[in-house]
Amino acid sequence: MNSSGKYAWTATVGEKGQIVIPKQARDLFSIHPGDTLLLLGDETRGIAIMPKSAFAELYQTVFKEEGGTSEK
């Protein structure tokens, strides 16, 4: 395991625009065939890939209701 917790891998984009996530990355992040991934893009910073299950946590963080009420 990398002691800093930071990794770098390469992937090649195929003719159909598909990429293969390296096995070490799939194992490290428990990505399995059939899993849905969320891709977040920023024209300046690049692309982030995360499991769809992490979206619920991200959504709650971004749209957290303050004081138990929501503004509409």
Whether residue 12 contacts residue 2, with contact meaning beta carbons closer than 8 Å, is answered with: no
pTM: 0.65
3-class state of residue 15 by DSSP: coil
Whether residue 22 contacts residue 29, with contact meaning beta carbons closer than 8 Å, is answered with: no
- Residue 2's pLDDT is what? 62
Chunked into runs of 10 residues, the chain (72 residues) has average pLDDT values of 82 94 93 91 92 78 65 52
